[in-house]
Structure 1
């Protein structure tokens, strides 16, 4: 059975057993980082502007994909929005329920079908769930199948080109691995337990725009963040 590292950490924090944060290690970038658990339980006032803008743009029936602790769902629920939190982590969904999220689904997004929504919300680099650039078309087409007519997809991501070395002429040295530079592997560690390494995708806006067009979607930049991050809105293009 795969360890639910994120879910266990969220439940510990929710149940007031907080003693440490999640550590993430990327063999791709050879970098270790800390994911502070309190940040995953932030309220609206503590959210970055990209997230606040996305929440304000939500309309109709909303599916919060990769809901985590449910912070975005809770805000929308408080605003009387019909929102459902979806996550493939049982601990995350249990945390959502304990916090008061009324509608939850425990399932990977690519295995979910049946209902359609006015807004699909994918925050905290939600496009990362695609895993690899080669999976984008399948991923976006599946999201499209969950949209009502005139529905929208709201997602944020980051262009991680800034992480690579710049030469004197302003060019960037990106390792020639044959893969898109935003494809990253991660492993989470929590309380001496290591999770399985998983694929994650950071996508520059132009690449998102191209992928959206291939999937029959229109795409617009809604807001640019302070550090290579952005919020985008996608919708079905009736002319395609």
Structure 2
């Protein structure tokens, strides 16, 4: 039976079937509906933004590509000769990655991953969002320590979305009773498939640094974009 809770996987499979121009609808509690073009998920290295190219260049050793999607980052790392494992909870995404030639693919939830060790954990396209909220961020960083070899690193992309709460006069309007402003609710749709509402975290670099230090990581910013997005490297000596 086809899984109707896998809109990304269904869209990726349609792309592999030759359907062009497909779009995933991204609904949130923060803004109007957004559109994710499926074709963008199949970009090659030269089509990737500077942040992603920097992240791929910073990868070393055995890499775990978390939330690998269509496998574009994993394929780029394979071309560099790095041993990379692409992980995704989407059954459709896993099938697409295998068809595209990703050599090591895991259909698994990263939270359940045990025993395997890596030198680099890679979380692009705001991948640290899987933490869901700040409590989940602590949980993820603690779990990341168990997945890293000595001298290992976490390369992650996130954004400070405070600008989304700015008023026309430049002031910021926040509901202080609503929790951290970077904890967002999402629901994705594609051709009858839907995820249901889920939490996704956008964390500003200062708070990330605080949480990283609590878990024994040091933080270095490798890239800062004009719209609050950034690439961070967390290192931990086991």
Please report how far the alpha carbon of residue 140 of structure 1 lies from its aligned counterpart in structure 2 after TM superposition: 0.5
2:160 aligned partner: 159
* Residue 2 (structure 1) shift: 6.0
Structure 2 CA distance, aligned partners of 1:138 and 1:193?
29
What RMSD in Å do the two structures reach over aligned CA positions? 1.4
Partner in structure 2 of residue 60 of structure 1: 61
Name whichever of 184-193 and 32-41 sits farther off. 184-193
Q: Give aligned pairs, total.
A: 236
TM superposition outliers: structure 1 runs of 4+ over 3 Å: none
Aligned to 2:177: 177
Q: Distance in 2 between matches of 1:132 and 1:2?
A: 26
* Match of residue 188 from structure 1: 188
What residue is the counterpart of 2:13 in the other structure?
Answer: 11
How far has the Cα of 1:15 moved from its partner?
A: 1.8
Q: Which runs of 5+ in 2 are unaligned?
A: none
Counterpart of 1:78 in structure 2 is: 79
| Residue 215, structure 1, aligned to residue 233, structure 2 | no
Tell me the TM-score normalised to structure 1 length: 0.94
Point out where structure 1 has 5 or more consecutive residues left out of the alignment. none
* Cα separation, 2, equivalents of 1:10 and 1:119: 26
Partner SS state of residue 220, structure 1: strand
What is the rounded CA distance, in whole Å, between the counterparts of 1:81 and 1:112 in structure 2?
20
1:23 alignment counterpart? 25
CA distance in 2 between partners of 1:80 and 1:135 (Å): 33
Trace 1:25-40 onto structure 2 (pairs within 5 A): 25-26=27-28, 28-40=29-41
Find the counterpart in structure 1 of residue 136 from structure 2: 135
Shift of 1:30: 3.8
Deviations 1:108-165 (A, max 9, x none): 1101111101111110001101011111111111011100000111001011111112
